[in-house]
Structure 1
Amino acid sequence: MIRSRKPVLTACTTFAAAAAALVLAAPDAGAYVTSVSVSSGTSIGGGYGTNCSYTITVNGSPNEYVWMYDSASATFNPQQFSLGSGGSATASWTPTSTGTHYVQAWSYNGSQYAVLTVNTGINLGSACFVTG
């Protein structure tokens, strides 16, 4: 009786291809976000104000791709970006509601966040007058 080796060869080839696909699709285990900081900009009265823009700096692994998220109401520009070859990038954050904001830089490999208190802001163009 002669058995064919073709099913065994096909199974091995399929397994090898699947294993290679998993290795190539797996994220870099060393990639991560290390910090999120927000500048106070040119606020008058201290703190952060609604409808005024602030610069967020995100640090982490070079070329790590991050998404920005705010637990309250805000806009980001841009909201998604790469940390680049130096492992750092900036975005603009404009809170649109008062209260406590958890501003988070999220990646597939973890996240970091900053806790900020936002009061009412009056955008004067070159500065932000913060009340409260």
Structure 2
Amino acid sequence: MIRSRKSALTALTTFAAAGAALVLAAPDAAAYVSGVSVASGTSIGGGYGTNCSYTVTVNGSPNEYVWLYDSASATFNPQQLSLGSGGSATSSWTPTSTGQHFVQAWSYNGSQWAQVSVGTGINLGSACLVTG
């Protein structure tokens, strides 16, 4: 009887060790956002201006759902997006206030942001005149 308990304990220990090894060796399946950037577009005077639209690019895990936020006031079109099979997507960002903005791409598994300084913009249609 003692011998069978020892065999059962050895089998249980071996099974637990094998299970732990599988968990540790498994690839990281967590989805994530790896980066966010804001293209400067066609600004006259440099930088970014209010009431002018710029392209935000988000990179991360393929098919990850991402929400976009701005620490100041701005609009996004669209504000929620999927990174698709290539792990990248774009949105249009239009700041509506001057100053420092943190454009954040957020998912359930983390976020990234880009810091952008916004001046007063005059939207000329094909370009943005930025002052201040």
Judge same fold: TM > 0.5, yes or no: yes
Q: Shift of residue 32 of structure 1?
A: 0.1
**Which residue is 2:52 aligned to?**
52
- For normalisation by structure 2, the TM-score amounts to 0.78
Distance in 2 between the 1:71 and 1:30 partners? 26
- For normalisation by structure 1, the TM-score amounts to 0.78
Structure 2 counterpart of 1:122, one-letter code: I
Aligned pair 1:71/2:61, yes or no?
A: no
Structure 1 counterpart of 2:109, one-letter code: N
**How many residue pairs end up in the alignment?**
105
Aligned pair 1:103/2:103, yes or no?
A: yes
Distance in 2 between the 1:50 and 1:115 partners? 15
Aligned pair 1:31/2:31, yes or no?
A: yes
Structure 2 counterpart of 1:91, one-letter code: S
Distance in 2 between the 1:37 and 1:116 partners? 10
Structure 2 counterpart of 1:50, one-letter code: T
Distance in 1 between the 2:74 and 2:92 partners? 10
Identical amino acids, percent of aligned pairs: 85
Structure 2 counterpart of 1:62, one-letter code: P
Query: Is the CA contact (8 Å cut-off) linking 1:29 and 1:109 kept in structure 2?
Result: no
- Structure exhibiting the larger radius of gyration computed from Cα positions: 2
Runs of 4+ in structure 1 off by over 3 angstroms are: none
Unaligned runs of 5+ in 1: 1-27
**C-alpha RMSD over aligned residues:** 0.9
Unaligned runs of 5+ in 2: 1-27
Q: Shift of residue 76 of structure 1?
A: 0.1
